[in-house]
Structure 1
């Protein structure tokens, strides 16, 4: 019995070490270059500036339009971040080293999901601050909006990251992965995006997007990271073939 417990503890320690190593490698390959983070941030700032010209300043006075434009920027941030999920490691042959090592496949999937969600979150913070300033968000709804937005963003990031990781692994060896990735990602992600938009719009103008109730949208939002993270971990050996 004691040998079994010791074996389980050893497996858990090895899993955590592998999980930590994936984060460390991702930091070195993505943050050392800074191109992925800075380029995505600059592109989002361009959207912040261009939306008033496209929609008109009068339309941007509406709370639902303001919140909608914020989630459009979040969507671009998520897609651009996810599109780089394995690219950096593949370019420096780091992924080949990972797959031929003794790292547990489940820890690789879990590490990629959590790091991608963190990467999206680090971009959302400065974008959110600039959005509040540039769009002159109503102070009457700002506190409630920020409280709600924090939890919505966490589940949106985790759901998008888990779905993106799963699809990226499925299309990694495809010759047309640049085309297949968005074709598969956008339709599947639409549920969590609509849930995020609806729950934050509810704070802005006290109405929900679509026929679902607030609890139904929260259920969809929470279900995404659970379902796709579970699928990714269960199918890790199949998804991460050498």
Structure 2
């Protein structure tokens, strides 16, 4: 039944006569945008059919929120740098799990074979998966941050700075992580040692965007931890990741994504 659902959706887009019957609302958009929306729709459908993976990740993140106070001690958690560091450890945990299963739902249901054998532009598939993965990470970060504020007793005076700083940092961090993850996933897709090669390539490359996110977040309150770089330099590093790796994926999509 699941395969039939994917087959029906993809045939609906790839069949020219059916595509023409989709109406004026579809025809007025460029084809790339139409395929981009389509990839996000089937990815959303995959997650909805596998709610356990989303709730399971949220449950493990919640367990980390509870375990950190026992491991670090309540006195250490009074420091804002320790609090914010704990939040980013959990965010990294969430990102790593989701990146590891970026293409898994489509591969498990053989939907990826349908997509790669269709007329769909490879760039639309890659960019669609990047945007959806970034939004999926964000959908888990929102409840985790909410519980973090409550359980870690974040001061009210810091909340405004928290929203002003961590929200844009998280958005750019998610895009950079998702674009890098998509590129690494495509490079290691046909490798026999994918489970070993993917983290070996992903985590060292991702360290830059993670360090930038943590360093900029530490400016909240009275804590400043920018290292050898200024705030502007860290923002440049953070912004360069989604631009660089999305552009590379876009240009190399026909080579990275093959039948």
TM-score normalised by length of structure 1: 0.94
Instruction: Write the distance in 1 (CA, Å) between the matches of 2:158 and 2:63.
Output: 25
Match of 1:88 in 2: 105
Match of 1:212 in 2: 229
Match of 2:7 in 1: none
1:51 to 51, 68, 73: 68
Match of 1:5 in 2: none
Match of 1:175 in 2: 192
What are the equivalent positions in structure 2 for 1:1-242 lying under 5 Å apart? 13-242=30-259
Alignment deviations for residues 14-62 of structure 1 (CA, whole Å, 9 cap, x no partner): 1111111101110111222212211110110010011011111111110
Which blocks of at least 5 consecutive residues in structure 2 are unaligned?
Answer: 1-26
SS class of match (2:212): helix
Instruction: Write the distance in 1 (CA, Å) between the matches of 2:221 and 2:250.
Output: 37
TM-score normalised by length of structure 2: 0.88
For residue 133 of structure 1, report the CA deviation from its aligned partner. Answer: 0.2
Instruction: Write the distance in 1 (CA, Å) between the matches of 2:242 and 2:181.
Output: 11
Would the aligned equivalents of 1:44 and 1:76 in 2 still touch at CA under 8 Å?
Answer: yes
Instruction: Write the distance in 2 (CA, Å) between the matches of 1:183 and 1:58.
Output: 35
Match of 1:4 in 2: none
Instruction: Write the distance in 2 (CA, Å) between the matches of 1:36 and 1:169.
Output: 22
Runs ≥4 residues deviating over 4 A: none
Alignment deviations for residues 193-240 of structure 1 (CA, whole Å, 9 cap, x no partner): 011111111113341231100000000000000000000000000100
CA RMSD of aligned residues (A): 1.2
